[in-house]
Structure 1
Amino acid sequence: MNTKLINSAAGVINAALTQNRTAAGIALALDSAGMLMTPETAAELAGLRARFAASDHSVDEDPIAFALTDKADTDDVRPQVRKLRALLAGQDQQVQAARALHVKYPDSEHCQHDAEQWPCQTLTALGGLGGAS
């Protein structure tokens, strides 16, 4: 029995009960808190933690972040990790494409793409300047 996990789950359940949630609402709250896993997911997480523990990284580092590094690139890397890497690469390309659209008019303080005040909200949300600033 893991007392820490039980107390954490009890806290989530109590918070859901104070909001008059149904049993399904309580289950949803537990799932949202990451406390519900299939046996396969739990086994995969345990395997990642074991690989991380055997590595030369400090315990403060994130095992999931480690799984995405080149050091974790071995033949047994899970297909989900490869999918995640592909997804992140695709999202990075989409962000770069969006940044390229949002450029400042050379003679105005506005964005050429959406005519908002420079820098536009889209560019600010993407975290930086696009093309010509």
Structure 2
Amino acid sequence: MNAKRVSAAAGVVLAAQKRRQTPAGIAAALEAAGLLQSPESAAELVRWRERTEEAETSEAQLKGQVRGLRAHVAELEARPSPAEVLRQVADQWAAHCPEHSDADDVWMDCPADWVFELRRAADERPEVSS
């Protein structure tokens, strides 16, 4: 006789009797508590519960990783494309050209050839789609 199992069963029976349950209700309470099972099936139930808990933990971890990856993708998508960067640089150079702008703060020789090359490279660069 397993004193621990007998004590647990007695507690379940006592609680069921306090609720004035029928013998079938008491048996159902014992089954729900896992006390009518063989030790092997009770151990198997414990293993399945542990595996379920592990799977739920893994699922939560994976969901966290997915959230992190989505945030990273959103950050990358918010960055300007290489073609946009090339066009911005070309516009900035053209704005400071002494021969092709009205800018007072000219700091370079005419970059028209380079501006043309930057814009051409931007136009040839394929756009990245999501």
Task: Tell whether the structures are fold-level matches, with TM greater than 0.5.
Answer: no
Greater RCO (Cα-Cα under 8 Å, separation 6 or more):
2
Q: TM (normalized to structure 2)?
A: 0.34
Q: TM (normalized to structure 1)?
A: 0.33
